[in-house]
Amino acid sequence: MRLHIRHETRYRLDHPARRSVQYLRLTPRLDRCQQVLRWTITGPETIAPWTDGFGNRVHVASEGEAHDELLFTVDGEIETMDTCGILPLDDGLPPMMFLRDTPRTRADDAVIALAGEAAGSAEKPPVIAPGDEVPTLHRLMGLVADRVTYRAGHTDVGTTAAEVLQHGFGVCQDHAHLFIACSRALGIPARYVSGYLWSDHTEMASHAWAESWVKGLGWVSFDPANRQSATDAYVRLAVGFDYADACPVTGVRAGGGDEALDVSVTIAPLSGTQSGQQ
């Protein structure tokens, strides 16, 4: 599918900041399931592209003059392919490292119990029957969606998987964190994916989901928020252990006081006729 994406991120500051630096993970990864046709990022004074250790394409943007607004604009076109939710090849990142837990994905007893339920295992730690990895992960995706109702405003970017399970509410990144925590508790490497999702019936555009490494298959995607694996409606921006490694925009600044954040993302399929609408 050919998609046109426009993504604006605007911070309005209470008073001028002296300096600010941001990392922007807003450029699609060089993965086999997608091909960038055109992509531009505009932002503050200086902006330099680099690649982080996960292979994410990052920009470092800095503003050295006093400023009371920061605006980043992404405009691009990308061709995506439906790979049945599977990225078959090792992308150079050793899968085993994604067994590591992080503060956001540490499994407590309840998380481990949820993982055990998916695996149909009462043992501690839970055990998966040989060859049952993929069905287990699909059951896990359903369980995570069942236990955590999609509701904005209940969690923030620091909320842990254990907290999400306890409270029962969250957004896509919380679903992803809980899924990742359970997958790792089952001994299956899992990682966080940040990106875009095109859909003609929801507002969801910036999105997050998870991938688990299944031997013999590769990275298999699971999007508990939508109870499905990734399709060609998904655009992959960044991967990491959790949100912190893959988040689209992270920054620090000197001064500026409180901020108001405005984000707008529009995604539209681009066919011969539709592209003419612009």
Partner 1 sequence: MGSKRAFDEMHGSGKSIREPYSSYGAWLHSLDISELGRRHKAADVIFRRMGITFNVYGDEGGVERLIPFDVVPRILSASEWRTLERGVIQRVDALNAFLNDVYNDQDILKAGVVPADMVLTNAAFRPQMLGLRVPQDVYAHVSGIDIVRVDEDTFYVLEDNARTPSGVSYMLENRQTMMRLFPELFASNAIAPVEHYPELLLETLRSVAPRGVDDPCVVLLTPGQYNSAFFEHAFLAQQMGIELVEGQDLFVDGGKVYMRTTRGPRPVHVIYRRIDDDFLDPLAFHPDSMLGVPGLLAAYRLGNVTICNAIGGGVADDKAIYAYMPDIIRFYLGQEPILNNVPTWNLRRPDDCAYVLEHLPELVVKEVHGSGGYGMLVGPAATKAEIEAFRERIIAEPARFIAQPTLSLSTCPTYVDQGIAPRHVDLRPFVLSGRETRVVPGGLTRVAMREGSLVVNSSQGGGTKDTWVLDDTPRSAQGGRHARTRR
Residues making contact with partner 1 (CB under 8 A): 19, 21-23, 45-46, 48, 50-55, 58, 60, 62, 64, 92-94, 96-97, 99-100, 240-241, 244-245, 250-252
Interacting residues of 52 by C-beta distance below 8 A, sequence separation 6+:
25, 58, 245
Query: In terms of CB distance, is 55 or 142 closer to partner 1?
Result: 55
Angle between helices 133-147 and 172-185 (to 10 degrees): 140
Query: In terms of CB distance, is 96 or 152 closer to partner 1?
Result: 96
Min dist CB 139 to partner 1, Å, is 25
Query: In terms of CB distance, is 103 or 257 closer to partner 1?
Result: 103
Q: Say how far apart CA 221 and CA 172 lie, in whole Å.
A: 14
Query: In terms of CB distance, is 112 or 143 closer to partner 1?
Result: 112
Please calculate the CA angle 35-39-41 and round it to the nearest 5 degrees. 145
Is the distance from CB of 21 to CB of 68 less than 8 angstroms? Answer: no
Min dist CB 184 to partner 1, Å, is 10
Which segments of the chain does DSSP mark as H helices, in order? Answer: 109-119, 133-147, 161-167, 172-185, 243-246
Min dist CB 70 to partner 1, Å, is 14
Min dist CB 60 to partner 1, Å, is 4
Min dist CB 10 to partner 1, Å, is 19
Closest CA to 137 of 212, 194, 187: 212
Min dist CB 101 to partner 1, Å, is 9
Type and span of the H or E element at 40: strand 34-42
Query: In terms of CB distance, is 64 or 125 closer to partner 1?
Result: 64
Query: In terms of CB distance, is 54 or 209 closer to partner 1?
Result: 54
Query: In terms of CB distance, is 14 or 45 closer to partner 1?
Result: 45
DSSP state of 130: T
Is the distance from CB of 96 to CB of 109 less than 8 angstroms? Answer: no
Q: Say how far apart CA 276 and CA 126 lie, in whole Å.
A: 54
Min dist CB 251 to partner 1, Å, is 7
DSSP string, 3-39: EEEEEEEEEEEEEEEEEEEEEEEEE----TTEEEEEE
